[in-house]
Amino acid sequence: MDHLENSNEESENQAQTLGQPLSDFLLQLEDYTPTIPDAVTAYFLQTSGFEPKDPRLLRLISIAAQKFISDIANDALQHCKMRSSNASSSHSSSKGKGTKDRRYCLTMEDLTPALAEFGITIKKPHYYV
Amino acid sequence: MEQQVNPYRKMLTAAISAILLELGVDSADRDVLGSLTEMLQCFLSEIGSMSHNYCELSGRSEPVIADIILGFVEMGIDFSGLQQFVKNGKSVVLPSLQPQQ
């Protein structure tokens, strides 16, 4: 019986968490400026025929796009950090270089495995000048 | 002759660069920026097209949030973390464009 009640409560909570954010979250977007400018998002949405009058809908899409890129870039950065720490530990472990002044440069070598985790296969052809 | 680049795409690249800087990346290859720009543009076009389709399917011409949510679901994007993302991240706002002289 307890178990049943618990599951009922859980499903109620879940219904709240799934339905609630939509309305609440939109209100929060009123005074939030995403990194991708509204005009840019609006332009690309218009190219596919989507023209929302409410700017909050634009912002919702901007934030989703920003999160999409941010997640991928963060993953790629972790790959980059792991690669550089492996390289430095195998090459110059005796020198004991400070890790604070390390500069991270994102390359396709980092991006490819990060994208693979998201199910995106990327193959850039070599470019010869 | 210099190739004409869509200014909106340039803005996307600038936004991606801002996001990367915020994450702590110091520099990125041109290939990486190009790929991310392409992905971001594709993301925006795709979500626009899907939401538009859902909107018209339900006989409306004015899109509502439900259409966008359905678009997210169809694209397999988890939108439950968006609120947390907004709360945590202090997003960088791009500086306003200066007229070229």
Q: Following DSSP, what letter does each residue of A3-52 receive, concatenated?
A: HHHHHHHHHHHHHHHHHHHHHHHHHHGGG---SS-HHHHHHHHHHTT---
- The pLDDT value recorded for residue A112 is 92
Q: Using a CB-CB distance cutoff of 8 angstroms, which residues of chain A are in contact with residue B69?
A: 22
In a domain, A92, yes or no: no
CB pairs under 8 A between A and B: 160
Is the per-residue pLDDT at A10 higher than 80? Answer: no
Q: pTM, whole model, 2 decimals?
A: 0.81
Domain-embedded: residue A57: yes
In-domain check, residue A24: no
Average pLDDT value over all residues in chain A: 79
- Report pLDDT digits (tens) over A101-120: 678 899 988 999 999 998 98
- Partner-chain residue, chosen from B25, B77, B83, that has the shortest CB–CB distance to A104: B25
A27 inside domain: no
Residue whose structure tokens are 């997210």? B72
Question: What is residue A113's predicted lDDT score, i.e. its pLDDT?
Answer: 92
The answer to whether residue A44 is domain-embedded is yes
Q: Exposed, middle or buried, A3 (CB in 10 Å: 0-12/13-18/19+)?
A: exposed
The reply to whether residue A107 touches residue B32, judged by beta carbons under 8 angstroms, is yes
Domain limits at A45?
A: 32-87+104-128
Cα A13 to Cα A9, A10, A107, A120, distances in angstroms: 6, 5, 43, 34
| pLDDT attached to residue A30 | 79
| pLDDT given at position A13 | 54
Contact residues, chain A, for B52 at CB < 8 Å: 48-50
In CATH, what number is assigned to the domain containing residue A37? Answer: 1.10.20
For the stretch A23-70, pLDDT in tens is 677 777 877 888 999 999 999 999 999 998 888 899 999 999 999 999
Q: What is the mean pLDDT of residues A77-91?
A: 83
The answer as to whether A115 is a domain residue is yes
Question: Smallest CA–CA separation between B3 and chain A, in Å?
Answer: 16
Cβ–Cβ below 8 Å for B69 and A22: yes
Residue A107 near chain B (CB below 8 Å): yes
User: When comparing pLDDT for B87 and A80, which is higher?
Assistant: A80
**What residues of chain B lie within 8 A of the CB of A16, using their CB?**
none
pLDDT for res A27: 79
Spatial distance between the Cα atoms of A4 and A17, rounded to a whole number of angstroms: 20
Give pLDDT, residue B100: 72
What pLDDT does B79 receive? 81
Answer whether A45 sits within 8 Å of B44, measured CB to CB: yes
Question: What is the domain count for chain A?
Answer: 1
Asked if the structure places residue A64 within a domain, the reply is: yes
Are the beta carbons of A48 and B48 separated by less than 8 Å?
yes
pLDDT digits (tens, 9 = 90+) for B3-48: 788 899 999 999 999 999 999 999 999 989 999 999 999 999 999 9
**Is A26 a domain residue?**
no
